Structure 1
């Protein structure tokens, strides 16, 4: 299992669970990262790639500008405007397409909400890539997952949330999560 991220705390937590990690900041570009992972798979690439990033919501000046412009419009106009004209940045998806082996599968659990940048359909066709996407149907798997949520914690969920804050501190919790302050990876809000 390989994990790619740029947040030190998430990389550390993944390594602690036996994941071979790649800090995207230590590569000059996406191609260098793809080469490093391909080297670990005898040139094939991973059988499956999970894109849990989705829209790169913060950090994009263009996204901030579009959000600010949309916020200035009346609500009746801003919703359809944002849905029709916002364009999701697909860097994580493009990397997944480059990484996955021929005949492999890309699973999208990250959310892309607007129109998409051009997608390399010929590459997807040529590499015979399957794409699976959608919301997690948690209820369908509950009966199979619940037995693993025991005191022994084989899935490592007990320390999944790095911070627990009361709901009254929601604005602070969101800021902490977005800015990755104080090692925040997942913030749980309690009533």
Structure 2
């Protein structure tokens, strides 16, 4: 099969790889019909997530058609399914508490040492996202093996297009969980740092949950325009002093809830960002956290802080004093996708949520390297890239 492989920093290539096979009774093999490039993939592309090996198959946002199943799978050949990026067994302590991203059985034992040393506990398994999370081949490929296929994939009803449901694999439930973690009430002012794909879905979700006002912060004109179309007010951080603007917009109180949808690769020319980016470049720091620092300073006393943005290591100058003295609530984590997919599918079917507005480009899988390059360097115009393995160049 053809698949996109990681070869090093800013080096991804479509190569011929062995076809996946059933290795466990609960496995299924999916023929991929659509797969997307995620902002989290750029962390791998930029070389800031450890545990990648040359030849690893990328991609964790994908869907397709079932072509083979093990005897323990509940799927049937021919079904169209969206596959959550989190690999979850469905029966461990965490899965039984709907904390699917923390699954204790999906990251093979031989892969757990590094993440356990880094984080205190081993991570759950993820598709296409380094050997820290199991080393599973990803879905930017013609075919993919799906472990625990009786737990993760959601069957798509006939008549729904791939574009309508593809993002159930990751970014839509991630934006939804981000808003849920912010514990939104009907009178709340909610601020979202980053109007990329997750940030835009967090805005959409916060409004669907009844927030009185949602404010999106970014600097790309097209992303700000998309946020405005969703119903958000917007702030261009290059043109405005963000903290002062938020205090003014909230009547001097500060926003009730804040969402950091930027994560570990914050950019810009704030002094802390410049220093963080320099440390990333020379290899003495892992995370650039300007958005999180600013969010913690902006939120009102007693407010809520939600962090869907990915962080992989350590963050300097974390304002722990603000977190404690203001009595803030902080919630974060990889998305428990399986907890949300059924409800979100229903909302898509009933027209309450639309995801197709986000897609700016559809490319053949063979053109994936160009998609990665533009998704990183031309973020104003390339808001979301969908790769189609069956599409001809």
For normalisation by structure 1, the TM-score amounts to 0.81
Other-structure match for 1:183: 381
Bigger fraction of residues in strand:
2
Q: Greater shift after overlay, 157-166 or 55-64?
A: 55-64
Note if contact 1:87-1:117 (Cα within 8 Å) is conserved in structure 2: no
CA contact (8 A) 1:58 1:64 kept: no
Q: 1:17: which partner in 2? A: 230
Distance 2:236 2:288 in 1: 20
Residue number in structure 2 paired with 1:104: 303
Q: What's the counterpart of residue 26 of structure 1?
A: 239
What is the rounded CA distance, in whole Å, between the counterparts of 1:57 and 1:3 in structure 2?
15
Unpaired runs of 5+ residues, structure 2, are 1-213, 269-276
Task: Check the 8 A contact 2:256/2:299 in 1, yes or no.
Answer: yes
Q: Deviations over 1:117-140 (max 9, x none)?
A: 131212111111111010111110
Match of 2:4 in 1: none
For residues 164-183 of structure 1, what are the structure 2 equivalents within 5 Å?
Answer: 164-180=362-378, 183=381
Please point out which of 330, 353, 365 is paired with 1:155.
Answer: 353
Give yes or no for the alignment of 1:46 onto 2:259: no
1:106-153 CA-partner distances (Å, limit 9, x unpaired)? 111111112111312121111111110101111101121111112x64
State the 1:61 CA deviation. 4.3
From the two aligned structures, give the one with the greater helix fraction: 1
CA RMSD of the aligned region, Å? 1.8
Find the partner of 1:117 among 316, 323, 330.
316
SS at match of 1:49: strand
User: In the superposition, relative to structure 1, how do residues 35 and 18 fare at CA in structure 2: closer, same or farther (>3 Å)?
Assistant: same
**Number of matched pairs:** 168
TM-score relative to the length of structure 2: 0.41
> Separation in 1 of the partners of 2:252 and 2:307?
23
CA contact (8 A) 2:247 2:254 kept: yes
Report if the CA contact (8 A) 1:176-1:182 is conserved. no
Match of 1:126 in 2: 325
8 Å contact kept, 1:24–1:33? yes
Query: How far did 1:162 drift?
Result: 1.4
C-alpha distance 57-93 of structure 1, shift in aligned 2 (>3 A): closer
